[in-house]
Copies of this chain bind each other. A is one copy, B any other.
Amino acid sequence: MKKYNIPVEAALEVIGGKWKVVILCHLIKGKKRTSELKRLMPGITQKMLTQQLRELEEDNVILREVYNQVPPKVEYSLTDYGWSLKQILDLLCHWGEQHIEKTFDNPEDMVVQINEE
């Protein structure tokens, strides 16, 4: 059985993956298709995206809904348990924004705008 030296390690095991917090931050905005997530995260590969999504699903943080149709359609959303992370995710996003403003002269240049619509 896995042992933790400090309880926070249990949280990191769930959301500590390289892309997991980013994925969850996007899903806070609402249900997303695989291709939407890929577009929102230009740096991620198909393989990593699938892998991280699977792990989040196994930890009961996100829900995967498959529509049996051609072409395939899969949607991801937060579960109730996933929503229990909302405050943490919001604070992280906010802290990130502040950090950008604090650190750089032209913070608006730091964020690549992606049209969500």
Could you tell me which A residues sit within 8 Å of B by CB distance?
A: 1-12, 14, 21-22, 25-26, 40-43, 84-85, 87-89, 91-93, 95-100, 103-104, 109-112, 114
Contacts and interface: CB of A to CB of B under 8 A. Distances in A.
Contact of A25 (B6, B84, B88, B98): B6
Given A12-B22, A95-B88, A1 B110 contact: yes
Contacts of A103: 10
Interface SS of A by simple majority: helix
Contacts of A5: 22, 40-43, 111-112, 114
Contact of A3 (B11, B93, B112): B112
A102 to B, nearest CB: 8
